[in-house]
Amino acid sequence: MIRQSLNRLTPYLFMAPAVVIMAIALFYPLLYMIVGSFRDWDPSQNISEAAYVGLANYAKLLGDAAFRESVSVTLTFAFTVVSAEMLLGVGLALLLDRNIRGMSILRTLFILPMMIAPVVVGLVWRFMYHPTDGIFNRWLTALDLPRVDWLGNHALLSVIIADIWQWTPFIFILSLAALQSLPSSALEAARIDGATGWQQIVHIKLPLMAPVLIVTMLLRLIDAFKVLEVILVMTEGGPGLSTEILALRIARTAQEFRELGEAAAMSNYLLLLLLVLTLGMFAFTRWQEARARRQQAMQFREEG
């Protein structure tokens, strides 16, 4: 009896050190941030010395036009880049899901942008967008077209293009892996029934890929809300507040304005926003799974 109990507890005992370390690394900073958000805190003070102000930091942010603008820019940026990356990544995966000579070389080339440090990506695209020496304006000049102030009049669009270039390969690799793991029996049955290539994509491949695509989209969405280095290098949040996403606003509030309490409150708003999105995605996934089970049950009843 004792041996059986020890056998059941053994996996948990092995996991315990990692769980404790993860709990300390995760919950201590989170608790510290939550406590700091209720205080008028600056870098010259210990958090225990800062005056308690309750929800004043949260209320102040709700009335701050710059904070609301940062939230708007963040939402626009995140949903635009993730939508474009999903369309391009999944489309490329469907296009290249076949026996192509040199496919391993193509995959390596596709994932190269992901391997470049964000600071380097920002510098490269900043030089490419240069008003006189940038490659885009050189092309426009060669075509006798007027030059464009990419990082001035079209700063947010320019940052979005750079992010799409860097992270579309992430969607492509995961989508291709999902495609190649699909059951061949379902695809063969669809071909025997006379389904066209487009019908196979819409009715077989995409529905079976849906769980992987939802998780992939959630990962990219969370990451898009936290982009900092590329935007900081390319535009520093300007001109004005046109590219100042919430992560950059938090960093500036803490470092330049020295308002750690407000920065902590902003971080909690961002955390709450990401939590809502994550729970929404999981709820949608559960709803899809329940719907698929109901459809299967109806089919079995009809066949029976």
Q: How far, in Å, CA of 137 to CA of 129, rounded?
A: 7
145-178 burial, b if ≥16 CB within 10 A, otherwise e? eeebebbeeebbebbbbbbbebbbbbbbbbbbeb
Confidence label for 120 from pLDDT (cuts 50, 70 and 90): very high
Determine the average pLDDT of the residues in 199-216.
Answer: 86
**Contact assessment for residue 266 and residue 61, using Cβ atoms and an 8 Å cutoff:** yes
Q: What is the pLDDT of residues 165-184, one digit of tens each?
A: 999 999 998 998 888 888 88
Cβ–Cβ under 8 Å, residues 245 and 227: yes
In the block, tokens 């709803």 appear at 287
Higher pLDDT, 2 or 186: 186
Instruction: Enter the CATH code of domain 49-303.
Output: 1.10.3720.10
Residue 53's Cβ-count burial label (10 Å; 0-12, 13-18, 19+) is middle
Nearest CA to 74 among 269, 210, 287?
269
Amino acid letter, 275: L
Can you list the alpha helix ranges (DSSP code H) found in the chain? 2-36, 56-62, 65-95, 103-115, 118-128, 135-142, 150-153, 155-180, 184-192, 197-200, 206-224, 229-234, 246-255, 260-303
**Torsion angles phi and psi, residue 52, rounded to 5:** -80, 125
* Per-residue pLDDT tens digits for 39-51: 998 888 888 888 9
* CA–CA gap between residue 156 and residue 163 (Å, rounded): 11
| Secondary structure of residue 44 in the 3-state scheme | coil
Residue 304 pLDDT > 60? no
Domain extents in the chain: 49-303
The verdict on pTM exceeding 0.85 is yes
Position with higher pLDDT, 103 vs 227: 227
